[in-house]
Chain A
Amino acid sequence: MEKVHVRKLGELGHEPLELTPEETVRLILSEHGRYFVVDEATRSLLKEVTPEPGQRIALIPIARGG
C-alpha cells in the first residue's frame, strides 16, 4: 500500500517520512496547534486531516509573535 509522504520542517528537517494514513493522522494530532498542514501539490492548507496514500504533505511550523 502506498504511503503518505510527509515533510516536517524542523531543525535538521526535511527528512521525508513515509507513513500510513493512520500514522499521519496520529502525527498531526500529536503536533496539534504547532504546525500548518499543507498539501504540497496544491499548496493549500488542509483544514481537515484525511490523508490519502500517495499524498504529499508538509508540516510547517506556526510562527510565534513576541
Chain B
Amino acid sequence: MSGDYEEISVLPAGVYRVRYKQLTPSQIKALRTRTQKKLQELRRKQNAHLATLNEIDAEMETVNRFLEETQNPEVDGYIQRYEEQKVKAVEKAEAFLREFLGEEDYEKFKKNRFLEFKDTNSDYWRVYSDGTAMRYENGNFRRVCVIRQRELPLPDHIVSVVQTIREQPERLRNVRR
C-alpha cells in the first residue's frame, strides 16, 4: 500500500496541488548518496575555480612585479640614454650619407627622394629615401628584396644598399612578387 497522497493548498500566493511521495529507506539512502555526490561535484568545481584563481593571482603578482621593475627610474634613464644615442646615430648616419654620396647626388636624392644610377652590369637602379631598391627591367622599375638590418639607422641602410648595388649587384637579384 502506497503512503503517497495529494492535497490542494490555498495560499496567499495562489492555489497549489501538492503531491507527497513516501520514500522507502532504500530510496532515502539513494537520495542521500545522490545528494552527497552532487555536493562532492560542487566542491570539486569550487576547488578547480579556486586553483585557477590562485594561478591567476600568482601570475598577476609576477606580471605586476615585471611592470614595476620595468618602470623604475633606472630603466627609464637607460631608455632615455638609448633614445638620445639613437637620435645622434641617425644624425651621424645622415652626415655620412651626404659625405658618401657627394653633395650633388645628395641634393638630388633629397629633392627626388630617390637616387638613380647604373651598376657594373649597366643595369639601372633606384634607391629610395625609405631604403627600398628598384631595378629597371622590361620597361619598368621593379622592387627588389632587401633585408633591412635590425636597428641600422635608415641613412646607414641606404649607404649599405647603394654600396652593395655598386659593388656586388648580384647580391640583390630577387624581384619582389
Give residues in A with beta carbon < 8 Å to B: 7, 9-14, 36, 38, 40, 43, 45, 58, 60-66
Main secondary structure of the interface of B (DSSP, over half): helix
Instruction: Decide: B96 and A61 in contact? CB cutoff 8 A.
Output: no
User: Could you tell me the distance between the alpha carbons of A54 and B167 in the complex, rounded to whole angstroms?
Assistant: 25
- Find A60's partner among B89, B151, B160, B165 (CB 8 Å cutoff): B160
User: Could you tell me the distance between the alpha carbons of A60 and B156 in the complex, rounded to whole angstroms?
Assistant: 8
Instruction: Decide: B86 and A63 in contact? CB cutoff 8 A.
Output: no
B residues 95-112 in Cβ contact with A at 8 Å = 96, 99-100, 102
Residues of A within 8 Å of B150, CB to CB, are 11
Instruction: Decide: A7 and B149 in contact? CB cutoff 8 A.
Output: no
User: Could you tell me the distance between the alpha carbons of A58 and B156 in the complex, rounded to whole angstroms?
Assistant: 11
User: Could you tell me the distance between the alpha carbons of A14 and B94 in the complex, rounded to whole angstroms?
Assistant: 11
Give residues in B with beta carbon < 8 Å to A: 82, 85-86, 89, 92-93, 96, 99-100, 102, 144-147, 149-153, 156-157, 159-161, 163-165, 167-168, 171-174, 176
- Find B92's partner among A14, A38, A61, A66 (CB 8 Å cutoff): A14
Instruction: Decide: A9 and B174 in contact? CB cutoff 8 A.
Output: no
Instruction: Decide: B89 and A65 in contact? CB cutoff 8 A.
Output: no
Residues of B within 8 Å of A38, CB to CB, are 163
Q: How far is the CB of A15 from chain B (nearest CB, A)?
A: 9
Which of B149, B172, B173 has the most CB atoms of chain A within a 10 A radius of its CB? B149
